[in-house]
Amino acid sequence: MRIIIIHQFFVPGIAHSSYLVAGDNACAVIDPERNILPYLDSARRMGLKITHILETHLHADFISGHLDLAEATGARIYAPASGNCAFPHQPLKEGDSIRLEDIAFSVIETPGHTPEHICYIAADMSRADTPVSLFCGDTLFVGDVGRPDLFPGRAEELARALYHSLQEKILTLPDHCEVYPAHGMGSLCGRSMSAKRSSTIGYEKRYNYALQMQDIQEFVHSLTSNMPAAPDHFARCSEINRAGPRLMKSLSSPQPMGPKAFFDSIRSERTAVLDLRSYPAFSGLHIPGSWNIDLAGSFATHAGWVIPPERDIFLVVEVNEQVEEAAVQLRRVGLDNVSAFLEGGLLAWGANALPVDSVPVVTPQKAVDMVAAEDATIIDVRSFDEMTDDCVRGSIQIPWHDLRTRHRELSRDGKYILMCKGGRRASIASSILKMNGFANVFNMAGGFAAYQKLGICTL
């Protein structure tokens, strides 16, 4: 018997961790993402057969790959019984166990982040029945715990459930038990996760702020106050995962489309043009009415937040190699209708005398001068938690994603300089204002990080 092998897969952008747990001949995959090729490749290299697919909960921030992986391998899917999943699976409840050669997975119910959440406690039975590893999904993170506020009207109820799940079940495990969560720093499934991707029960007992709160009222208040905003796709993905996502092989690849055909196609209200170039490129030249979400940033999360899921998505890319990567990331957040991409990019578009638009980029000093001349207003589009310590004097504070509706609070005749931390989210915000009829829109180069270098007092 070899020692249990645990291989972690990490997806940047959504900061998702999944796991391959291996015995001698077979292995389990825990909380798989939708792109299953890394699991298939790893199992093949290790000479293993994937026989088990274990889900801790109905993930809100991404579409799971459980059906794709089951279809490709014949593995059985295990999921929480209280999730009422509509696809073929083995439902699990408190006290159930799963055997994979000498590896025993014990199931505990840990509601809190979601009502149906379960965790898997692994033991190597060839040595002892002592818990070795905890696959805790979004119940416990390194440095944080799962947010309980994703279900309207149930935040306090779920926070109380989370307290009991942690204090009465998870924290009773041995200090040496390894902790393998489903997310790390960068995910919006928690508030202050560490960049460290695994831990131990003992370490979390000592250093995790949420576990220091012994009073349940203090815990509930902390976990239901000042939480970051939840992206729109959080309200969709859980139900998609419950019903069973469409298989990836059934989704067509985005097709190249020449400028004139592209222009004709995007005139329909059923389409969304998504420009995934950098904000300097978008600012210089773009198709009127398009969204700008930089592929190099938190692309999947930002796209899932604002792109209408019912729209057919038409991509504008810098190079064709970006098309496949963009489609994979969009499908992670349930945006499956990626129809086409502009062949030849903006160079070909401009050469065909088709309409273009731009968003002038101004330096922080120029922005200050424009405001001083009473000629413009700065809109700080960072999230509220970023603005607690520093904000620009005289600015309007509207998080970038809220401009989809709150643009109605602004005059279309005004001049607005959009500012985020560095420029990317300000460019998304700029594209939102432009598509809603605002003509005088500017992006502050370098964002708040550059503004601070001026040494101007902030309020």
Give the CATH architecture of domain 251-351.
3-Layer(aba) Sandwich (3.40)
Gap between the Cα atoms of 316 and 274, Å rounded: 6
Question: Does 361-452 carry CATH code 3.40.50.280?
Answer: no
Q: Which residue's structure tokens are 């208040």? A: 221
Gap between the Cα atoms of 306 and 309, Å rounded: 9
Gap between the Cα atoms of 297 and 12, Å rounded: 10
Total Cβ atoms within 10 A of residue 215: 9
Q: Can you give the pLDDT at residue 239?
A: 97
- Residue 76 has which token pair? 């059985």
Q: What is the pLDDT of residues 130-152, one digit of tens each?
A: 999 999 999 999 999 999 999 99
Q: Can you give the pLDDT at residue 374?
A: 87
Half-sphere exposure of 141 (CA within 13 A, CB side): 27
Q: Can you give the pLDDT at residue 1?
A: 42
Residue 388 confidence class, pLDDT cut points 50, 70, 90: low
Q: Can you give the pLDDT at residue 458?
A: 55
Could you tell me which of 408, 457, 450, 456 has the C-alpha nearest to residue 433? 408
157 sits in the region (left: phi over 0; alpha: psi -120 to 50; else beta) called alpha
Q: What is the pLDDT of residues 225-260, one digit of tens each?
A: 989 999 999 999 999 999 999 999 999 999 999 999
Could you tell me which of 94, 141, 100 has the C-alpha nearest to residue 123? 100
In the predicted model, what is the mean pLDDT of the chain? 95
Could you tell me which of 310, 313, 328, 315 has the C-alpha nearest to residue 286? 315
Say what the pTM is. 0.94
Q: Specify burial of residue 229 (Cβ count, 10 A radius: 0-12, 13-18, 19+).
A: middle
Give 401's DSSP letter.
G
Q: What is the pLDDT of residues 281-309, one digit of tens each?
A: 999 999 999 999 999 989 999 999 999 99
List all residues 6 or more positions away from 30 whose beta carbon is below 8 Å from its beta carbon. 18, 19, 20, 21, 54, 55, 56, 120, 135, 180
- CATH topology assigned to domain 5-239: Metallo-beta-lactamase; Chain A (3.60.15)
Helix (H, G, I), strand (E, B) or coil at 37: helix
Domain extents in the chain: 5-239, 251-351, 361-452
Helix (H, G, I), strand (E, B) or coil at 130: coil
**259-271 mean pLDDT:** 96
Residue 457 confidence class, pLDDT cut points 50, 70, 90: low
